[in-house]
A and B are shown apart, each in its own frame.
Chain A
Amino acid sequence: MSLGVPLSWLSEGVANHELWAIVLRTLQVSGTALAVSALIGIPLGTALALTRFGARRWIVALVYTGMGFPPVVVGLSVYLLLSRQGPLGGLEWLFTPSAMVIAQVVIALPLVAGLTMGAVESVDPDVRLLLRALGASPVQEALGLVAEARQGVVASLVAGFGGIISEVGAAMLVGGNVEGSTRVLSTAIVLETRQGAFGMALALGGVLLALTFLVNLMLMRLQGTPWWSKG
């Protein structure tokens, strides 16, 4: 098969309204899941790095387990949770983008929290003393340490995003790959491949790669001097 096939598919795809809808939906679902994971995972990871309390060991073990959890098992659990007979069946979220966001948060949150914890823990312990001596309140101290760990914290977001934007098992199970509603890039690739449309599948793969690359470039901008912890 020549390279001309995927390229022609791609040029057709660019004009294709559904392709752009899929790209946008992919960004919406995974972007929301990453935002939620960051909002919970960065403070959680920081707290786990900086405090010592009884239940900490168990939470850390849970986070580490979550970091290596098979996405398809996450999908199955969320499916059972949201299915008609499940405890959250009343929400009627199964096969909606909301269900996909939930599954993706469960996948990304442990990655963000666990890697943030490691990054904050590896900051020179004397920095903590320095921040206090400069007059940091406890909250300012935590922000200052996250700022010092920003390379690793951003890496945790990159890992979390990478883990969900390309993920297919959970997205398929809880989203259902419904055209015009829950079809995202990864599930679309599976569908096209199954139908023998390898050119389109490859083109979509290229789009997925480009998208991941662009988002990572944006995330890396956060590694510069942080505006949110000027002190």
Chain B
Amino acid sequence: MSAPCYELHDVRKAYGGKTVLAVDHLVVHQGETLAIVGPNGAGKTTLLRVLNFLEQADQGRIWFEGSLVPYPAPLHLRRRITTVFQRTVLLHRSVRDNVAYGLGLRGEHDERRVDQVLRHVGIEHLASMPAQQLSGGEAQRLALARALALRPDVLLLDEPTANLDPPNVAAIEAIIGDLPLQDGITIVLVTHNLFQARRLADRVAMLLGGRLVEVAETARFFAGPEDPRAAAFVRGEMIY
């Protein structure tokens, strides 16, 4: 067996004295889609920032493919991982230049790749538009295309379909669902949509107050989580 994609030990992060992330142990397997669910403020976004090595944990250790990763993480490692953020941020450039940007940072200028991902997410007809003029759904597709252009080994998705209408949700889910088949990519998908987790994930982890209260195969997670708080969350009950 090869080493897991990620292994986290005792990873903690606090903001202003308040602990927002306290993960005792988490493994992300190579090529799996792991959904992270949990209420607002649970620490999901913070966990993704740590996984992309954008933010330093206050303590704990993170292994990537079996190697302990220092902070700041080496650039070549960071470049194998990318995030689609919860709030879409577009550069003040054309749609095409937004997609080409990350490749440009790597010294690659691959017009065909850019065209390919624009077509893949269905916005090739908007290529020369200023990115700021896109609608919400188009902007989210662009954010996804910009990440996919890099052919990342790890794709971190932070609520990629929040605030989208059903057709856009379906389209984006279809693209995400097809990725593992094509590229063997590892995906960590943060979502507050349990149905989405069920549709897309191999395993589901639940964060509550920065702690992992349940991590299980998707079917088992939804059949009957062991943790009572996770069970309540699955039943759609309010939890604190």
A interface residues with partner B (beta carbon < 8 Å):
124, 126-127, 129-130, 132-137, 140, 144, 147-148, 225, 230-231
Contacts and interface: CB of A to CB of B under 8 A. Distances in A.
B89 interface: yes
B93 A129 contact: no
B22 interface: no
A126 B90 CA distance: 10
Nearest to A134: B102
Interface stretch (B80-88, B164-172, B184-192, B219-227): B80-88
B176 interface: no
A225 B32 CA distance: 39
Interface string B86-103: 010101111001001111
Interface residues of B, number: 25
9 contacts: A126-B89, A129-B54, A129-B85, A133-B83, A134-B101, A134-B105, A135-B102, A147-B91, A231-B104
Contacts of A230: 97, 100-101, 104
B1 interface: no
Given A133-B82, A230-B104, A127 B54 contact: no
Contacts of A127: 89, 91
B47 to A, nearest CB: 14
Contacts of A144: 91
Describe B's contact surface by its main secondary structure: mixed
Contact of B75 (A130, A135, A148): A135
Nearest to A123: B92
Given A225-B97, A231-B100, A231-B101, A135 B106 contact: yes
B127 to A, nearest CB: 14
Given A127-B89, A133-B83, A133-B85, A225 B75 contact: no
B32 to A, nearest CB: 21
Contacts of A148: 91-92
B78 to A, nearest CB: 6
B52 interface: yes
A134 B92 contact: no
A135 B75 CA distance: 7
Given A126-B89, A136-B105, A225 B94 contact: yes
Given A230-B97, A231-B102, 8 more contacts: A132-B78, A133-B83, A134-B101, A135-B79, A135-B106, A135-B150, A140-B105, A225-B93
A133 B105 contact: no
A31 to B, nearest CB: 28
Interface centre among A132, A133, A137, A144 (most CB of B within 10 A): A133
A150 B83 CA distance: 25
B105 A126 contact: no
Given A230-B104, A231-B100, A231-B101, A134 B85 contact: no
B12 interface: no
Contacts of B89: 124, 126-127, 129-130
Nearest to B149: A134
Nearest to A151: B92
Given A148-B92, A225-B94, A231-B100, A134 B54 contact: no
B146 interface: yes
A134 to B, nearest CB: 4
B142 to A, nearest CB: 12
Contacts of A140: 105
Contacts of A124: 89
A208 B49 CA distance: 53
Interface centre among B92, B94, B100, B146 (most CB of A within 10 A): B92
